[in-house]
A and B are shown apart, each in its own frame.
Chain A
Amino acid sequence: MEVFWYSIIAVILAMFFILDGYDFGAGIIHLFFAKTEKDKEVIAKSAGLFWDSNEVWLVAGGGMLFMAFPTFYASVFSGFYLPLIIVLWLIIFRAIGLEFRSQFKFPMWRAIWDKSFGISSLLLALFFGMALGNVVRGVNLGGVENGISQYESQYFFLPLWNSSFSPLSETPGVIDWFTIIIGLISVLTLAIHGANWIILKTNSTINARLKSVVFYSNIGLLMLTILSLSVWQTINPNALDNFMSKPYLMVFPLLYFTGLIGLFFIKKIKKDLYPFLLSTLLILGGITSSLASLFPVILPSTNSINESLTIYNTVTSAYGLSVAFYWAIVGIILIVIYFIIQKRMMAGKIDNMDYGH
């Protein structure tokens, strides 16, 4: 049951990054590459129509985490207090940027909300990547100082950064050079994904240019990936153990590299859907590989006194999980139905669509 719930939540969070990911990415592209008002409008719309239903995946994932692994939810959300609240603020700025830009025609009004949408998308992509980096790196569980725990062993509190910015320090912060690398990987990945989304959903004039943007970002992504893999071993010596002992887990990194390599051929790909599918593989593979390398740990401890949080020591009662199993199945079937209805009704390029006004 623990493994089932772990997988369900992982899938929901991956869905969140795939779906909301493209509108974060659209924001990044919007910030750097959209020049004419027409393009800005179309790109904002390609995100604006969907961000709300995409963000529900985050809310649902959060709710399920709360239900199934309450100790983990409590520990992580209070431990990453400041970055999380900042993420919430950014989510707000992004949403109002998207929703409010079209309300008035003054150029200044639009400029403000465009920036609000673009910058917060960029920062959110960075923060989400750093969050993943923090989980992979581990935290000082129990707040150990000089060999003594300050809190109960499942709690911690991370400052935003410490003076050395080093992931190897006794008391790491949220931002260090390792998590920044992962954050940049996330920014590039989502920018690629967003560009592919814009190519898929719009006829904007920058589509052709976006293909080279994807191409060059992909080179950067490849280099950062190699860099992060090589430092990962020094930070967490056991990083690859799971893959050694269970070789079938290698499918996850394989997904990632399929996406990555496939995208180098973007200029030759004729169908607009395929690049989007490739960057979907990229995201899916990236998240699942990181989780698989930790499993069954969900938050490693950087000290030797307190043990890491795993799906087994943070889970709720078996009864709770088993009743939730039934309603979750029903719920997921319903969601798939809504999802299909929505995607079919809104299929095609959005600038060709007749909105019924």
Chain B
Amino acid sequence: MEDMILYDRLQFAFTITFHYIFPQLTMGLSLIIVFFKWKFLRSQVEKYNNAAKFFMKIFAINFTMGVITGIPMEFQFGTNWAKFSELTGGIIGQTLAMEGLFSFFLESSFLVLFIFGEKLMGQKLHFVTALLVFIGSWASGYFILATNAWMQHPVGYEILENGKYVLENFSALFSNPWLLPAFLHNQMGSLVTSSFVVASIGAFYLLGKSNVEYGKLFLKTGVIFGLISSLLVAFPTGDWNAKNVAKYQPASFAAMEGIFETEHAGAEIILIGQPNMVEKRLDNKIAVPNILSFLTYQDWNKQIMGMDKFPEEEIPTNVPGLYYSYHIMVGLGTIFIAIMSLAVFFLWRGRLYNFNPLLWSIMFLAPFAYIANITGWYVAELGRQPYLVYGLLKTADGISPTVSSGNTLFTLLGFVGLYFLLGVLFLILVGKTIYEGPKPEPHPQTH
């Protein structure tokens, strides 16, 4: 039984983490492509159109990977979490089915037209297809976050005698107080990733002295989008999420902030320290007094409950994982703002394009955006433990009753092997596209 839960959780965590590498780029990148296409329509400068088409190639590779890793996600609810699906399918099935109907169809139908239809339909319509792809991808983020929001903070449900949760109020799913902050924060996070990738490719071209004209364009666009989104991801959206966690999942809040003991007045904010679960304290702590109370409640002296105030079974099962994930995300967010501000400042002074130290750091920043997004999800998902649906259903009660742990281990290993292969292929293809650069291609190809 214990093995079973462990393998199921590992499989879900592994496959979703891998899946999320792709949408977090595509959701933001589709916006940047719309931007380039729009610049082209306004200015008729060919450069912008080539930029849009170049990023569409990168988009297409990511999209394919997103689709093929997304299909297993959709099925895993049934294969590995059958009890959960049976009990809550009437509710989370709504948002998942809407995602299929309203966003995947939109995105996939118009992506083909965007990639192959430029000559067939003229520039204005081509811009419209780019816009529809963008809307489709954000809609899919919205519906999946609506699903997740219900698991984090269930609303609008009713419990039947046989223990099933069924829908009582449809609109509550979308007015869920958890949803809007999570959606906006998540979309800004994905814009961070994509603008950092754009900037990073730009820096790569400038440092490598190839495609210099495009390098400048990408770098400029990337750092401007990058600064805006890095600011928005921290404030107001990140802050808003933190307040939500403090309000609706107070035990997770204590764990992610690393507060073991409640202090009478004003909680300190922890910058560095290692949770010591045996002695229930932080080792090597560096903290600033009263800041956390202020950030959360705009009151320097408001009390914040520590983990000592909650019963053992309410406290998240993996406190160190939660605490580190949170601190990595917030720490990286702070670094992002610093580097992007510096970059925009140098851009404004006209010195960014040949200031190599900054170009190098921008080039290597992109992977950290992925890390920030993924650790962000670990905060959300580890914070929800030990519940699968917060306050209602324990994770251990959601697994499939008939699948043995040997089977799950087998499929987990299979996914690890297969995704390793996918990862290698993905890197080769993206690397090739970046290396070839944004030149108009001579031969038509299936993407």
Interface residues of A, Cβ cutoff 8 Å to B: 44-45, 48-50, 52-53, 55-56, 58-60, 62-64, 66-68, 70-71, 73-79, 81-82, 84-85, 88-89, 91-92, 95-96, 98-100, 102-104, 143, 151-152, 154-157, 316-317, 319-320, 323-324, 327-328, 331-332, 334-335, 338-339, 341-342, 345-346, 353-357
Contact = CB atoms under 8 A, between A and B. Distances in A.
Main SS class of interface, B: helix
A354 B104 CA distance: 26
Contact of A356 (B64, B70, B119): B119
Contact of B102 (A50, A156, A317, A334): A334
A30 to B, nearest CB: 14
Contacts of B411: 81-82, 85
Interface string B400-434: 11111001001100100010001001000100100
Interface stretch (B90-98, B208-216, B277-285): B90-98
A75 B82 contact: yes
A234 B91 CA distance: 41
30 contacts: A49-B116, A52-B67, A53-B108, A53-B109, A63-B93, A64-B100, A66-B97, A67-B96, A70-B85, A70-B87, A70-B90, A73-B93, A77-B77, A78-B80, A78-B403, A85-B79, A88-B72, A98-B446, A99-B64, A155-B82, A155-B401, A157-B402, A317-B90, A317-B158, A317-B166, A320-B166, A323-B94, A338-B110, A353-B116, A357-B443
Nearest to A331: B101
B120 A66 contact: no
B168 interface: yes
Interface of B: 64, 67-72, 74-75, 77-80, 82-83, 85-94, 96-102, 104-106, 108-113, 116-121, 158, 160, 164, 166-168, 170, 400-404, 407, 410-411, 414, 418, 422, 425, 429, 432, 440-447
Contacts of B72: 85, 88, 92
A341 B132 CA distance: 13
B407 A59 contact: no
Contacts of A53: 105, 108-109, 112
A357 B444 contact: yes
B11 to A, nearest CB: 10
Given A60-B104, A64-B101, 10 more contacts: A52-B64, A56-B108, A60-B97, A63-B96, A66-B96, A73-B86, A92-B68, A335-B101, A356-B117, A357-B443
B441 A102 contact: no
B443 A66 contact: no
Given A56-B104, A99-B64, A100-B425, A66 B79 contact: no
Nearest to A338: B109
A50 B88 CA distance: 33
Contacts of A155: 82, 401-402
A95 B89 contact: no
Contacts of A55: 67, 71
B418 A92 contact: yes
Given A64-B100, A355-B116, A78 B79 contact: yes
Contacts of B77: 66, 73, 77
Contacts of B75: 62, 77, 84, 88
A215 to B, nearest CB: 30
A100 B61 CA distance: 9
B446 A81 contact: no
Given A49-B446, A52-B112, A59-B100, A74 B68 contact: no
A44 B113 contact: no
Pick the most buried of A60, A88, A332: most chain B CB atoms within 10 A of its CB: A88
Contacts of A339: 109
Given A67-B94, A77-B79, A355-B444, A319 B109 contact: no
Contact of B78 (A64, A74, A323, A353): A74
B441 A357 contact: yes
Nearest to B98: A327
